[in-house]
Amino acid sequence: MLGKIRKEKTQPDSERLRRALSRSEVPDRVPFMELFADGEIMAAVLGKPLNYFYKELRSEREWEERTLSLMEFYETLGYDYVRVDTRDYETTVKQSQYEKEQLALGEMGSRAYMYRTADVSPDLNRGERAWANEHTGVIANWEDFKKFKWEDPEDIAEESIAGLEWACDHAPPGMGIVTAAGTVLEPVMWLMGIKNFYLSLYKQPDLVEAMF
């Protein structure tokens, strides 16, 4: 598959994407842009094991190789940008540990997922599959809000740039960098539970406002 795609390989041009988004000029072709690409799709295109992008990272070298593979995927398919995480290996591991501590322990953590099970798929195995709790999530009320271990925004800003800098230094010529397709509503709904979130819009709107 990869060989056939590479025959049509084009040169990345982040300015083409910028001009199209700003509507300042008609580009020579319609640039591709989307929310994200599933890991299994990227792995299949690159000829890698289908769970390649979901395996737990074990070293900085693996993080670098995975980031370079992301760039290869986006460049090969004719994108003018690559969507990368701003976190480097060390911060990625720290974030993973933080999420495990927050969402897997105690009464609050037990409400994080409606269903959580081992992944038994032989080819698409991600280790574990989880479904968000649609009813009541980790933060149901003000008591939960105060117990929740919120990260310091300054720490996040300070720690979350090393990966971006590395990506900028290693991106192919002409390729732009997109750090995230930022979500605002989804994290709050997942933390509160979708049903609880909607009810709280009327019953405890001050909590909903604080969540944002």
Tens of pLDDT, residue by residue over 9-30, are: 678 999 999 999 999 999 888 9
Q: Give the pLDDT band (50/70/90) at residue 106.
A: very low
Answer whether residue 95 is part of any domain.
no
- CA 168 to CA 161: how far, in whole Å? 11
Domain extent at residue 56: 1-86+161-181
Does 80 lie in the same domain as 12? yes
Task: Indicate if 165 and 188 belong to the same structural domain.
Answer: no
* Statement to judge: residues 143 and 61 lie in one domain: no
| pLDDT at site 45 | 92
Q: Are 155 and 166 contained in the same domain?
A: no
139 & 80 share domain: no
For the entire predicted model, the pTM comes to: 0.76
Q: Is residue 94 part of a domain?
A: no
Shared domain check, 80 and 137: no
**Is the pLDDT score of 104 beyond 70?**
no
Confidence of residue 186 (pLDDT cuts 50, 70, 90): confident
Instruction: Identify whether 96 is part of a domain.
Output: no
Say if residue 181 is exposed, middle or buried (CB neighbours under 10 Å; 0-12, 13-18, 19+): exposed
Indicate whether 46 and 143 sit together in one domain.
Answer: no
In a domain, 97, yes or no: no
64 and 134, same domain (yes or no): no
How many domains is the chain built from? 2
- Looking at the structure, tell me whether residues 166 and 77 fall in a common domain: yes
**Maximum Cα–Cα distance across the chain:** 58
Q: Are residues 29 and 128 in the same domain?
A: no
Start-to-end C-alpha separation, the chain? 44
The pLDDT > 70 percentage for the chain reads: 78
Residue type, 129: R
**68 plus 140 within the same structural domain:** no
Say if 51 falls within a structural domain: yes
Other beta carbons within 10 angstroms of residue 18's beta carbon come to 16
Is residue 63 situated within a structural domain? yes
Q: Which pLDDT score is estimated for 206?
A: 96
Query: Are 137 and 198 within one domain?
Result: yes
Over the stretch 27-78, which tens digit does the pLDDT of each residue have? Answer: 888 999 988 888 889 999 999 988 788 888 889 999 999 999 999 999 999 9
Residue 206 lies in a domain: yes
Distances from the Cα of 192 to the Cα of 98, 132, 135, 208, angstroms: 18, 10, 8, 9
Q: Is residue 92 part of a domain?
A: no
